[in-house]
DNA sequence: CTGTTAGCGCATTCAC
DNA sequence: GTGAATGCGCTAACAG
């Protein structure tokens, strides 16, 4: 690869002039400008970004550490992020990590000048990070105050879900949710929506402990006559996919008898009817992240919560 | 971030000594070695990899340009690649590209010193690349001789598939394959296996034009009585998933009446019975790639073909 | 308008 | 053993 010295020599000007032509390009005599351009073209010269990085103390590389177990979700993140990053002339440096130790070691390797900032995505284990240049995205909240994090607004999701279901005439809403970090938030939103709609809270409709969703649903089904529930809130699309056949096995139609609602991601598989759901736009989230990275000096991210979109199944006949 | 100057000052030695301690560490007086280590620890100093890169003329970054349309396949590639790359102290720089222009532009941005080598994965459009540092992985073959490429051995896959099916007593093997770049290879392997088993080639069993697989299968089904086929070779798992319900709709049992074989990837979804298939090990492929990257100077990759593994469904009762 | 100089952070000479 | 000097490729400041 040719360097700026080769170009300056061939063009018969100094390195500085070459640099000027390629960057600002202002205040250069047309003759030498042309000479430089010609030499650049002949040598197929392109400035070495590493040398530029050394000078500017920034590489334009953003590390992305994926700690996500849901592989499909990961791809959606990556695709959206890369799209926005490359639009801002930034590069996405990818790592996978499955434990706190792996995340920390990856962080170590990336923050030695290689990456300007690092995102950690989807960690389900607590992380104790105190670095201005690290953003936790969809990670469990840690005890220490992490400077920058982005989370899903689970309370908002649950509240929206309940309000939608109630608007559809479903007033007996069951809730099955694993005891994750989001559980408290979900319950909060659930209760809030019930309150606002003057509906009583029935403890028997809610399952938030560690029992499997299958068992939880079976308890609901066994007591179906007394509970009389006509809607079911589940954590995500995978749960929904598991739960619907079980309902159908007990002659419950979906959504006729029971309307199933996914609190994270809907079902788009061909042949399977779509269910109402909250969906988080990866694209919007990526846009938010990249925007913040670009104007980092001016603002503080803090603990940002993104709200999901309500997705309603298309009931029109085709 | 502290630099080597800060360390040398605090330790009371020269930069050279600091560098020696952190690299070779040989031929340094124990006293100054300790002093350096202490200063390093106090300042939390870590050598700037960008400065090292400028000196060594290599960054340890490997660009990966994904041109794959199959998003699941992409994730499998990325996961395997990243795992092997990080084991070799290399970094994976990710880009997505959907056209030749996008690939070329990405290539331009990555080969200005940022990446030592670049992989292009899954491009379904012809690429004309003449760069020693670029490897085409699972891309359509280009007219010009690309220095380095890795492809799937589709002929071997088809041959293996036929031999397996024949060993299972299936002698009337239909073949539905889109008219892709791999089509010729597939047909080659198909014919070879038939020949070797002294079976006639029946043109009516083979569909390799651009008609949809659904239509092709319907033609087969309409002529089922005369064709009497008892096995069906399809391009990949998605095709298999589309084709099986169609067969069942016409009262053909799978694999009872018709044994469906996927030439690329099997079905592992819960509830759906696994079918025999050829599977390409992403892990093995990633290992091959990274091994070559590490000893690039010694050997030439050329045009390497990986052969897939035969996956046989588990017929044991659980 | 343009050339010279200095320095980004580091590792590798070469003297002492 | 160790320190001073050199240069990787580039840009910014300063002189002309």
- Summarised one tens digit per residue, pLDDT across range B52-68 is 999 999 999 999 999 98
Which 3 state secondary structure label does DSSP give A152?
strand
Residue A67 within any structural domain of the chain: yes
Q: How many angstroms separate the CA of residue B60 from the nearest CA in chain A?
A: 10
Residue B250 within any structural domain of the chain: yes
* Window 53-72 of chain B: CB closer than 7 A to strand D: 54-55, 57
Q: Are residues B181 and B216 in the same domain?
A: yes
Residue B316 within any structural domain of the chain: no
Nucleic strand D within 7 A of Cβ A22 = yes
β-strand pairing of A231-234 with B309-311 = unpaired
| Mean pLDDT of the A82-105 span | 98
Across the beta sheet with A149-152, the strand order is A303-306, A149-152, A134-137, A117-121, A61-66, A91-96, B91-96, B61-66, B117-121, B134-137, B149-152, B303-306
Q: Is the pLDDT of residue A227 over 90?
A: yes
Range of the domain at B142: 61-147+282-308
Cβ contacts of A79 on chain B, cutoff 8 Å: 71, 96
A248 touches chain B (CB under 8 A): no
From A1, A96, A114, residue closest to B91, measured CB to CB: A114
Position A317 scores a pLDDT of 47
Q: Are residues B109 and B219 in the same domain?
A: no
Q: Considering only CA atoms, which residue is closest to the C1' of nucleotide D3?
A: B14
Distance CA B139, CA B137 (A): 5
Q: Which of B121, B123, B134 is nearest to B79 (CA)?
A: B121
A191 touches chain B (CB under 8 A): no
Q: Are residues A115 and A162 in the same domain?
A: no
Residues 6+ apart with CB under 8 A from B164: B261, B276, B310, B312
Q: Which of B209, B94, B88, B77 is nearest to B138 (CA)?
A: B77
Cβ contacts of B71 on chain A, cutoff 8 Å: 75, 79
Nucleic strand D within 7 A of Cβ A51 = yes
Position B171 scores a pLDDT of 97
- Nucleotide nearest to A4 in CA–C1' terms: D9
Q: Are residues A165 and A270 in the same domain?
A: yes
Interatomic distance A292 CA / C1 C1' (Å): 40
Residue B115 bridge partners (DSSP): none
CA closest to B45 among chain A residues: A112
Position A299 scores a pLDDT of 76
Residue A258 within any structural domain of the chain: yes
Query: What would the two tokens of residue A258 be?
Result: 């029971």
Q: Tell me: the pLDDT tens digits for A116-171? A: 999 999 999 999 999 999 999 999 877 567 789 999 999 999 999 999 999 999 99
Interatomic distance B255 CA / D9 C1' (Å): 64
A262 touches chain B (CB under 8 A): no
Q: Are residues B122 and B97 in the same domain?
A: yes
- Mean residue pLDDT of chain A comes to 93
| Regions of chain B short of the pLDDT cut 50 | 317-318
Structural domains counted in chain A: 3
Q: Please tell me what DSSP assigns to residue A185.
A: H
| Mean pLDDT of the A47-71 span | 95
Asked if B71 lies within 8 A of A83 by C-beta distance, the reply is no
CATH of the domain at A48: 1.10.260.40
Q: Considering only CA atoms, which residue is closest to the C1' of nucleotide D8?
A: B55
Q: Are residues A25 and A73 in the same domain?
A: no
Q: Are residues A52 and A117 in the same domain?
A: no
Footprint of strand C on the protein (CB under 7 A): A 12-17, 20, 27-29, 31-33, 51, 54-55, 57; B 3-5, 15-16, 18-20, 22-24, 45-48, 51-52, 54-55
Mutate to test the interface with A, among B94, B214, B248 (most CBs of A within 10 A): B94
Residue B313 within any structural domain of the chain: no
The structure tokens 């690309």 sit at: B146
Q: Considering only CA atoms, which residue is closest to the C1' of nucleotide C2?
A: A17
Query: Left, alpha or beta for B61 (phi > 0: left; psi -120 to 50: alpha)?
Result: beta
Residue B87 within any structural domain of the chain: yes
From A51, A74, A114, residue closest to B49, measured CB to CB: A114
**A vs B: CB pairs below 8 A:** 88
Nucleotides of D under 7 A from a protein CB: 1-5, 7-13
Q: Are residues B170 and B223 in the same domain?
A: yes
Position B213 scores a pLDDT of 87
Q: Are residues A250 and A178 in the same domain?
A: yes
Position A144 scores a pLDDT of 63
Q: Are residues B41 and B115 in the same domain?
A: no
Interatomic distance A15 CA / D16 C1' (Å): 17
B31 touches chain A (CB under 8 A): no
Q: Are residues B227 and B258 in the same domain?
A: yes
Question: H-type helices in chain A, by residue range?
Answer: 4-11, 15-22, 30-43, 49-56, 71-87, 100-110, 154-167, 183-196, 213-222, 224-227, 237-249, 282-294
B87 touches chain A (CB under 8 A): no
Cβ contacts of A59 on chain B, cutoff 8 Å: 50, 114
Asked if A94 lies within 8 A of B72 by C-beta distance, the reply is no
A39 touches chain B (CB under 8 A): no
Interatomic distance B115 CA / C1 C1' (Å): 36
Position B144 scores a pLDDT of 63
Q: Is the pLDDT of residue A318 over 50?
A: no
Residue A302 within any structural domain of the chain: yes
Position B296 scores a pLDDT of 83
From B49, B78, B93, residue closest to A113, measured CB to CB: B49
Angle between helices A49-56 and B49-56 (to 10 degrees): 150
Alpha carbon separation from B167 to A89, A238, B306 (Å, rounded): 55, 39, 24
Count of other CB atoms within 10 angstroms of residue A63: 24
Q: Are residues A172 and A272 in the same domain?
A: yes
CATH of the domain at B250: 3.40.50.2300
Distance CA B311, CA B277 (A): 5
Are A299 and A199 in contact by the 8 Å Cβ rule? The answer is no
Residue B315 within any structural domain of the chain: no
A95 touches chain B (CB under 8 A): yes
């Amino acid at each position: 690869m040719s360097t700026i010295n080769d170009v300056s020599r061939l063009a018969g000007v100094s390195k500085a002039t070459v640099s000027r032509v390629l960057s600002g390009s202002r205040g250069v005599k047309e003759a030498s400008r042309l000479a430089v351009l010609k030499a650049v073209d002949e040598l197929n010269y392109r400035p070495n970004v590493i040398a530029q990085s050394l000078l500017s103390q920034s590489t334009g590389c953003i590390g992305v550490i994926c700690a996500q177990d849901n592989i499909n979700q990961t791809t959606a993140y990556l695709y959206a992020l890369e799209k926005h990053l490359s639009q801002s002339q930034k590069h996405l440096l990818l790592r996978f990590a499955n434990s706190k130790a792996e995340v920390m070691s990856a962080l170590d390797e990336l923050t030695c000048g290689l990456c300007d900032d690092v995102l950690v995505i989807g960690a389900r284990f607590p992380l104790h990070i105190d670095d201005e240049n690290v953003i936790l995205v969809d990670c469990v909240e840690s005890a220490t105050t992490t400077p920058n994090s982005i989370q899903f607004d689970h309370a908002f999701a649950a509240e929206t879900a309940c309000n939608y279901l109630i608007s559809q005439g479903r007033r007996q809403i069951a809730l099955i949710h694993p005891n994750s970090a989001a559980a408290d938030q979900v319950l909060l939103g659930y209760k809030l929506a019930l309150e606002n709609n003057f509906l009583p809270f029935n403890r028997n409709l809610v399952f938030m402990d560690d029992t499997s969703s299958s068992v939880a649903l079976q308890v609901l089904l066994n007591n179906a006559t007394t509970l009389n529930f006509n809607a079911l809130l589940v954590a995500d699309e995978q749960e929904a996919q598991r739960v619907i056949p079980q309902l159908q096995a007990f002659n419950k139609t979906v959504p006729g008898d029971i309307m199933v609602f996914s609190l994270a991601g809907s079902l788009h598989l061909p042949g399977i009817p779509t269910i109402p759901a909250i969906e988080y736009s990866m694209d919007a989230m990526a846009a938010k992240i990249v925007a913040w990275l670009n104007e980092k000096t001016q603002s503080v991210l803090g603990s940002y919560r993104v709200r999901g979109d309500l997705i309603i199944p298309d009931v029109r006949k085709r």
